[in-house]
Amino acid sequence: MPRHCENAQKVAEFLNSHEKIEWVRYCGLKTDKYYELGKKYLPNGSCGVLAFAVKGTRKDAETLMKNLKVAAIETHVADARTCCLHPANATHRQLTDEQLVACGITPTLIRYSCGIENADDLIEDLKQALEKI
């Protein structure tokens, strides 16, 4: 589990500083609203799961997903391999963008669960996919 946490921290930091990312939710980031609670209740690191939103449209999020090469597109999390999901095109695909927002899910939300791969490989994969947007 420590490797999942370390990878998620590095990936979250990368995404948090990327110009094509609107926001990142990960309690290991000092900018996250749950950072202090994370430090209190998870002193050994949080977890491998984070969420982020691509700047732009649902189509931009689809483009990112289509171009990932390392992360497996799955509906589950907490695997040894990195998995990710675009809820607007998977678990919540029956909803319009307006209905998604009403449920608290943006059309550009990506759920990303870091596995035990090398963090640099995960970041490079995200970087090359973001370049295609």
Which structural domain range is residue 83 located in? 2-131
Domain count, the chain: 1
CB 130 within 8 A of CB 53: no
What's the pLDDT score for residue 45? 81
CATH number of the domain where residue 9 is located? 3.90.1150.10
What's the pLDDT score for residue 19? 98
Q: Is 91 a residue whose pLDDT tops 90?
A: no
What's the pLDDT score for residue 77? 66
pLDDT digits (tens, 9 = 90+) for 16-63: 999 999 999 999 999 999 999 999 999 888 889 999 999 999 999 999
What's the pLDDT score for residue 98? 85
Residue 84, SS3? strand
Model's pTM, two decimal places?
0.91
80 token code pair: 């040894």
